[in-house]
Amino acid sequence: MTKKERAAYVLKRLEELYPNPPIPLDHKDAYTLLIAVLLSAQCTDVRVNQITPILFERADTPEAMVQVPEEEIREIIRPCGLAPMKAKGIAGLSRMLVDQYGGQVPADMAALETFPGVGHKTASVVMSQAFGVPSFPVDTHIHRLAQRWGLTDGKSVVQTERDLKRLFPESSWNALHLQIIYYGREHCSARGCDGTVCEICRTLYPDRKRPVKAKKA
């Protein structure tokens, strides 16, 4: 199979497996999604979804959040890990939204990346899932699977994103990044598959005998 043929198979099979992939982080608008994505760094979506209702009961708008002391935010989100850094990010971006954006999350990638605690991946997720703008956020699952499937050399997350955007039609990006994440969790996890076990790995590389060592994100 050529790289293009592998990409075409992946797209078709994932569409069959996950025709309508749900957004894994619970939220009600762009602001609550932004906070949830920030909290999800090095934390499971399940844990984030347990903590955000507690946080959002206290404050679920930038205007309300700036009234909450940073120490209180830190205590609420402690189970998500990296609490001091994340609390600082939540407080800082909420203040920026109130002061510079009228309390509205901007549908602008470059603007989002200027917020405290918001990197390229977080901004991509918000653009994709809150605003429907074609984006391809690359997390550890996507970075690992793209290498196992021979779609990138995995030199960096930036390169993986670039390669995937080249291989797949823009109209597929928003659903596809979620489909890959779900497949990675359920069938091609870091320990559950080594490039020779799951259905897609075996279909793409039927003669592969050795495990694939994926470069980490």
Domain residue ranges in the chain: 3-21+136-204, 30-129
pLDDT digits (tens, 9 = 90+) for 185-214: 999 999 999 999 999 999 999 999 999 999
Maximal C-alpha separation, the chain: 60
Is there a catalytic annotation at residue 28? no
pLDDT tens for each residue of 41-96: 999 999 999 999 999 999 999 999 999 999 999 999 999 999 999 999 999 999 99
For residue 132 the two structure tokens come to 């429907």
Q: Does domain 3-21+136-204 have CATH number 1.10.1670.10?
A: yes
CATH number, domain 30-129: 1.10.340.30
**The pLDDT of residue 179:** 98
Active site residue: 60, 86, 139, 163, which one?
139
Q: Which long-range contacts (CB under 8 A, 24 or more apart) does 115-124 make?
A: 115/89, 116/88, 116/89, 116/92, 117/38, 117/85, 117/86, 117/88, 117/89, 117/90, 117/92, 117/93, 118/34, 118/38, 118/89, 118/93, 121/157, 122/34, 122/37, 122/38, 122/41
Write down the catalytic residue from 60, 86, 121, 163: 121
Give the C-alpha distances (Å, rounded to integers) separating 98 from 85, 89, 105, 106.
20, 14, 10, 12
Confidence label for 29 from pLDDT (cuts 50, 70 and 90)? very high
Do 150 and 6 meet the contact criterion of CB atoms below 8 Å apart?
yes
Instruction: Confirm whether 121 is a catalytic residue.
Output: yes
